[in-house]
Amino acid sequence: MLMMGELADIILRSIYVSGTASLIAFLVGLSIVLKSVEVRSKTIILGIFEALVGVPTTTIALLVYLLIFPQGPLGSLNLLYTPHAIILGQFLVALPVIVSTLFRPVETTVKDLKELIISLGGDEKQVSWLMFKELAPALISSYLMGFSRAIGELGVALIVGGNIAGSTRVLTTAIALMTSMGEYEAAILLGITLIALVIAISITLKLLGEFKWTSS
Amino acid sequence: MDIELRNVWYSYDGVNYVLKGVSLKLSSGFHIVVGPNGSGKTTLLKIASLIYKPVRGEVIVNNSNYWALSPNNTLIRKEVVYVHERALLIRGSVKNNLELGLKLRGINDDSTLKYFIERYNLFDIIKKDVRKLSAGQAKLVSIIRALAVKPKALLLDEPLNHIDMNNAVLLIEDLTRLVRDGSTVVVATHYITPDLEGLADSMYEVVNGVLTSSTSFRARIRY
């Protein structure tokens, strides 16, 4: 039976692990997109990331496992079966989603808005600020897509996290465990919690995206 | 304001040139650039608006080679305003958009905004989200936003597309007033209306990236 304290611990760990992974993926993804939108090979870059969206999380988990298992290239870092291992794996899971969803809005906004602001006499600083304002909904949507993909995945959390109670157990691995143990009530509770969490975070950030950023 | 293009070449992909050695001078007055779709009019206007740097050739603004100037050329940059063929509006209301050019210059000028809101009867849409505007309304807002900053040079790409007759008349009056005050106004179009032709001090024809003809009209008297 799942205790409330344990449930809270799992929820907080899930938010921390997936939030961190998707935040890092968002920052890296945004940098990739900003650098890629003005190069000639952008279609190829976008195509690669769109293809990577469909890679099973178990395959990504295997790749990460091979990197961080004790005899692997990063084995000395002792990352296996730690929350950091899950963060690394979920970063790789979220990155293609973030790049693919961010690419077109950034591409359009960078070109059009930059021209508009410059043509109206704005400087680079004003271009950056207005670009952020214009892109805010797209940035938030993209982060949310990455977060939802990360928090909802099981392969990485199970294979490189190990589902260790009080250490690497997150919502998805806990659901898998409870189901396999026949603890259906607990599994359903965890499932509802996961869905409610994703919806609550989604609505909050969406409202933030619609917020009218007034200073200029 | 004088903007002169000297043997200007431009390519988007480094292979195909959309402008091939164009030279022309745009001084205070009303100028029309005409040509079929895809002839290079928009690119020409963006180069004359100092948005695009030519691959080859020079853009001379008030006797200075603009792209050879140090980055300290923002003062010139602020005098030249370009209006895109497709209305580019920022998120928010019509008012947010109308005041954008003024705000970018650090000007808080409610009287100018009030003047244009009254003149174009924008009371019903001033608070409206720009995503809900018709194509014509969006275009009108983008042109008024440019007029509000009273630029020394105003370059407009197909400005009368989607604009209704009443507003087109008002816009032409405002462009005429701008020219009378000493500004350089350039309009690119693939279709010349008698109203526009009647205003022109000069007309340039661009076909396949080449300036095929230029016609100067006798200096017009504007009342």
Among B82, B91, B92, select the one facing A119 at the smallest CB separation: B82
B170 falls within a domain: yes
**For residue B221, is it within any domain?**
no
Any chain A CB within 8 A of the CB of B13? yes
Contact B51 A122 (CB under 8 A): no
Give per-residue pLDDT as tens, B104-143. Answer: 888 888 899 999 999 999 999 999 999 999 999 999 999 9
Percent of chain A with pLDDT over 90: 69
pLDDT higher at B49 or B76:
B49
Non-local CB neighbours of A128 within 8 Å, separated by 6+ positions: none
Model confidence over A157-183: pLDDT tens digits? 999 999 999 999 999 999 999 999 999
Position A14 in a domain? yes
Cα–Cα–Cα angle for B91, B95, B99, rounded to 5 degrees: 95
Asked if residue B223 belongs to a domain, the reply is no
Give me the pLDDT at residue B69, please: 83
B191 versus A75: which is more confidently predicted?
Answer: A75
Least reliable range by pLDDT among A18-22, A115-119, A206-210: A206-210
Is the pLDDT at B217 greater than 80? The verdict is: no
Mean pLDDT of chain B: 91
Q: Which residues pair with B80 in a beta bridge?
A: B153
Task: Out of B91, B145, B149, name the one closest to residue A134 (CB).
Answer: B91
**% of chain A exceeding 70 in pLDDT:** 95
The share of chain B scoring above pLDDT 70, in percent, equals: 96
* Cβ pair A119:B92 closer than 8 A: no
CB proximity under 8 Å: B 99-138 to A: 100-101, 103-105
Cα separations (Å) of A19 from A22, A94, A143, A144, B163? Answer: 5, 11, 9, 10, 48
* Interval B139-158 mean pLDDT: 96
Instruction: Note down the domain range covering A198.
Output: 4-210
Q: Give pLDDT, residue B71.
A: 67
Q: What's A169's domain CATH number?
A: 1.10.3720.10
Query: How far apart are the C-alpha atoms of A42 and A58, rounded to whole Å?
Result: 28
Q: Is the residue at B222 inside a domain?
A: no
- Could you tell me if residue B114 is inside a domain? yes
Cβ neighbours of A84 (radius 10 Å): 19
Pairwise CA distance, residues A146 & A80, whole Å:
23
CATH number at residue B193: 3.40.50.300
Which pLDDT score is estimated for A127?
86
R_g (Cα) of chain A, nearest Å: 20
d(CA B83, nearest CA chain A) in Å = 8
Taking any CB pair shorter than 8 Å as contact, residues of chain A touching chain B are: 40, 112-113, 115-123, 126, 130, 133-134, 212, 216
Confidence of residue A215 (pLDDT cuts 50, 70, 90): very low
Total of domains in chain B: 1
For the residues B140-154, what does the mean pLDDT come to?
96
What's the number of domains chain A is made of?
1
Residue whose entry in the numeric block shows the structure tokens 């005409």: B34
Q: Is A206 contained in some domain?
A: yes
Q: Does B145 touch chain A (CB under 8 A)?
A: yes
pLDDT, tens digit, 9 for 90 and up, residues A69-103: 999 999 999 999 999 999 999 999 999 999 999 99
Q: Residue A110: its pLDDT value, please?
A: 84
Q: Would residue B94 count as lying in a domain?
A: yes
Residue B77 belongs to domain spanning: 3-216
b/e sequence A174-197, b meaning 16+ C-beta within 10 Å: bbbbbeeeebeebbebbbebbeeb
Contact A113 B90 (CB under 8 A): yes
ipTM value: 0.80
A216/B90 touch (CB, cutoff 8 Å), yes or no: no
Give residue A133's pLDDT.
86
Average pLDDT (B194-200) is: 81
Å between B46 CA and nearest CA of chain A: 9
Polymer length in residues for chain B: 223
A10 vs A202: which has the higher pLDDT: A10
Chain B residue numbers touching A122 (CB-CB < 8 A): 104
pLDDT recorded at residue B218: 55
Residue of B11, B66, B77 to mutate for A, most A C-beta atoms under 10 A: B77
pLDDT in the model for residue B93: 94
The alpha-carbon gap from B66 to the nearest alpha carbon of chain A, in Å, equals 15
Flag whether B103 is in a domain.
yes
User: Would residue A140 count as lying in a domain?
Assistant: yes
Give the mean model confidence (pLDDT) for residues A117-146.
88
- State pLDDT tens for residues B156-187: 999 988 899 999 999 999 999 999 999 999 99
pLDDT tens profile B93-109: 999 999 999 998 888 88
